[in-house]
Each structure stands twice: as C-alpha cells, then as structure tokens.
Amino acid sequence: MKRLIQRGLMFGNLFHVSSPALVERYNRALKHLTGMTTSLTDFHIDISGYAPEVGDELGNDLYLNHAGVNRQFILLSTDQKRAPLLNAKFSTSRTILRKFMEDNEAQLFALTARDAVAGEFVNSVYLVRTPQRLFDIRAVTVEADTTMGTVQSANTLAKKVDTFLQDEDAWFDDVLIADMITLANETGDVRRNPVRLNTMEFKQENFWTAHFGGLYLFQNLEHPAMIASGTKEGLDDLPIKYVFDLTERNRIAKFLEYNDLVEPIVKARGVDASAILRQKMDFILIDTIADQGIDLSQTSRRDMRRLARENAHLLPEAYTALGQLVTWAEHGGKWPSITSDHPAYFYTLRAAEHGDSDLVNMLLAELCPSDIRQLFICHKEAFYATYATWPDAKKDYVARFLEREYQVDKAGARAALFGHEASMEDDTVSVPQDLIARVGPWGAVRRR
C-alpha cells in the first residue's frame, strides 16, 4: 500500500493532531466514550476522529465503532468534514456525519475552539449477530456534546432563563439566580450566542454493510432485494422477497431495470461516452496483461493501442464488445448486442439520477472489478482489498493513473463519470433514441 499512501490515495485528507492542546482534548473525549486514552502525541484522524495510529496502539481498529454497529465520533475541528471515513461498516455513515457537521457548523466551530465534541450514532441495534438484525436498523439518531457537557448545560441554562423571565417570583429566587450565574460561566450568554446542537435523525433504508461478507440492502423500492458480495449461505428466512449474489447477473440486471436504478453510459447527457468506454477498455486490457511480465510504464494512447494489438489473443469478450459499442457511438453502423448475461453488460451502465445513485454505483463497481477507477471512487474497501492481490506492474500502473487522472481533480472526475445534467433538447448525439427505447442500449432485457 506504500505506493497509494505516498500519492495521497490512501489515508489522504486526514486531520493532523499534533498540538498538546488537541491531544489532551482528544484523550478527554476518548476517555469519555471508551474509557481508554492514547500515549501518542502525534496522529491523524478521519471524519469520525478515528486514528489508524491509535487503533494500532490499542490493538483495536474498531475502538470508536464497537461491533461495527454504533459509530462513535470525536470532533476536534470542523475541518474534519473533508476527511474520509476509514474502516466504514455502513455506506451511510460518512454522509450522516458530514450532514450533521454541516448543519451544525457554526455551533461546532464555537464548541471545538475550547473542547472536543464527542458523540455517537444511536439506534436500537447494538450487535448484528444475524443478517435479520439489519432489518431492525430503520433510523439513526446523532447525539453529541462536549466532554464538559457544554450543550447540556446550555439547554439547562436556557430553561432557567425562560423560568426567570416568565415567573413573577423568580426575581426573589436566590437559588435560581445562583444556578444561572454558575451555568453562564460555563456556557456564556446563551440568549445572544445559543449553544445548541440539533439532535438529527436519518432514515436507514437502502445501504451497504461490510457485515456478513458485504451486503447491499434495498428495502425502500418498488421491487426490494438484498445482494450479497459473497455467498448467500445463511441468508435464508429474511423479511425480503429476493436475495441475490454477484454471480446472478441476469437477476441483478432485471432488479436494476425494474427499479429504474441505472442508465446506459451512451445515453447519459453531458458526458463523453466514448472516452469513458475507451478508458474502461484500457482497464480491462491492463487487467488482462498485468501478470504477463509486460512493461506498463509507457501508457499513452498509442502505447495502449500497441499493447492491445500485440495481446489481442488474450483480450476477453468484454473488451471486444466495448470496442464495438465505441465504434457504434462514434460512427454508427451495426448495433452491438450486449445482453444482461454478457461480460461487458455492467460496464455499459452507471447509476441513474435518484437518491441511491452512490449506492448503485458502488454495486456496479463490484460487478465491474476491472474498472479500477470506479472501484477506487465508489468502493474503497473493495479496492484496497483487491489492490493487495495485484502484481507489482498493475499496482504501479493503477497508482500512477489515479494520481494523474483522478487525484488532481476529484470533483471534476466524479462529475464527468457519475454526475447528472438536466436533459437538453438541442444536446443531440449520433445515438438512435428510438432504438434505445425499443431494445435498450445493449439489446433486449426481457421482462417477465
């Protein structure tokens, strides 16, 4: 993983904790949440306050995420919102935490100026021993306060102020006035500068979890289903009608189509479909020849064409089919038949515009493992696990490519690949829309 770390592709954008004041605040929060402390004086934390160095010291990478279910967090700065979430067990966790930080940014900025904010995701499930328990996680509530209880004290003070202003006899209540003065010394003037963190609740309906080998749970759809990254063993008797694994490509294709979750890349508006498909072909080429001892240090467009010619006998069916689709998109001619059981099928798709597009792109990344860019962007856990198994030549190529083509403009790359633009009537390309409407962009996928 050294190549990735050196290029900022792993453990990148972490918040550096090095000052004695921040370390002391972190330890107070860590003690408050877990009963443990760290002896380190220099470490890096993710958006949740998890530090790989502290996890290594404690021998527990889940020290802020007990049993991988109830995420706890430590906030030292609002700058943490730009950091990744490491060791994610649920696909929704980073989104929830970032939303909480953005909606409470002014309050968190004021609170973290003097203390650490410690909190947790609260739900009714504390341990997921069986897949059935995943269906009990219907919502997540985020609760937080400083280690000194500033928010709770502010709420108490606000109530006492209201009582003081509304009760005619409160002016003569020496105990009430003394309590208000004591609390005000801790919180400041809560009427001019309210110290309040909104307790926020987030629905947890469609999500990915790392539990049980990786599961995609789509509950809130017209045709719900669970999709397993590994085996379906042990996934019987679930309160959902359909359970698939990644080998059941036809069934997954129908599930995605019936729920209108995907769109063909060649039909997407505002993207260079040919360029995206050509890049996917390059990834398939590299995946095919990486273990052949071929020099991959030269990877210009001309070099890639040369490598494809010299190794044409090794190239899989998916490469050939994508090439035919590129030819059709650029020059017309014969429509390539890429049905749902074809190896190239899922490479031709991206998530449609809906609330679960990130989750669907994550699933597509697993269905198209040769597309290393999508795997890295959409499913880092799977990317890092797969990367460790590659030969050095492929590791070098992938690290250099991601640094050169993605790292320099992450937002632009994501927008070009997965963003959605409003449909424009004059944005026409040489794609016969009537043909797509009749048979789909890859040939007919028959409905029952």
With a cut of 50, say whether residue 435 has pLDDT above it. Answer: no
- In the predicted model, what is the mean pLDDT of residues 244-271? 92
Q: What is the reported pLDDT for 442?
A: 36
The rounded mean pLDDT for the chain is 84
Handedness of CA 257, 261, 266, 268 (dihedral sign): positive
pLDDT at 90: 94
Q: What is the pLDDT of residue 262?
A: 95
pLDDT band for 417, please (50, 70, 90 cuts): confident
Task: Please say if the pLDDT value at position 426 is more than 90.
Answer: no
**Mean pLDDT on 198-204:** 85
187 vs 174 pLDDT, higher one: 174
Residue 440 has pLDDT above 50, yes or no: no
Q: So what's the pLDDT on residue 186?
A: 65
User: Who has greater pLDDT, 407 or 436?
Assistant: 407
Would you state the pLDDT for residue 306? 87
Highest mean pLDDT among 181-195, 309-323, 424-438: 309-323
What the block records as the tokens of 80 is 């943490």
User: Quick one: pLDDT band at residue 216, thresholds 50, 70, 90?
Assistant: very high
Best mean pLDDT range from 126-130, 231-235, 355-359: 355-359
Q: What is the pLDDT of residues 66-108, one digit of tens each?
A: 889 889 999 999 999 999 999 999 999 999 999 999 999 988 8
User: Worst-scoring range by mean pLDDT, 219-223, 337-341, 391-395, 422-426?
Assistant: 422-426
Cα distances (Å, whole numbers) of residue 244 to 197, 241, 359, 422, 447:
41, 10, 16, 33, 17
Over residues 152-178, mean pLDDT: 65
**Mind listing the pLDDT tens digit for each residue in 396-411?**
889 988 988 887 778 8
Q: Which of 164-173, 333-342, 385-394, 423-432 has the lowest mean pLDDT?
A: 423-432
How much of the chain exceeds pLDDT 70, in percent? 83
pLDDT at position 151 over 90:
no
Could you tell me which residue, 134 or 425, shows the higher pLDDT?
A: 134
Least confident of 1-15, 172-186, 247-261: 172-186
Q: Rounded mean pLDDT of 411-424?
A: 68
**Full 3-state SS string of the chain:** CHHHHHCCCCCCCCEEECCHHHHHHHHHHHHHHHCCCCCCCCEEECCCCCCHHHHHHHCCCCCCCHHHCCCEEEECCHHHHHCCCCCCCECCHHHHHHHHHHHCHHHHHHHCCCCCEEEEEECCCCCCCCHHHHHHCCEEEEEEEECCCHHHHHHHHHHHHHHHHHCHHHHHCHHHHHHHHHHHHHHCCCCCCCCCCCCEEEECCEEEECHHHCEEEECCCCCCEEEECCCCCCCCCCCCCEEEECCCHHHHHHHHHHCCCEEEHHHCCCCCHHHHHHHHHHHHHHHHHHHHCCCCCCCCHHHHHHHHHHCHHHCCHHHHHHHHHHHHHHHCCCCCCCCCCCCCHHHHEEECCCCCHHHHHHHHHHHCCCCHHHHHHHCHHHHHHHHCCCCHHHHHHHHHHHHHHHHHHHHHHHHHHHCCCCCCCCCCCCCCHHHHHHHCECECCCCC
Q: What pLDDT was estimated at residue 184? A: 65
Strand order in the sheet with 215-218: 206-209, 215-218, 225-228, 242-245
Residue 296 or 10, more confident: 10
Closest Cα to residue 280, out of 214, 228, 230, 338? 338
Q: What percent of the chain has pLDDT over 90?
A: 52
Q: Which residue has the higher pLDDT, 107 or 342?
A: 342
Model confidence at 127, in pLDDT bands (50, 70, 90)?
A: confident
Is pLDDT above 90 for 167? no
Instruction: Kindly state the tokens that stand for 345.
Output: 């099928």
pLDDT of residue 285: 92
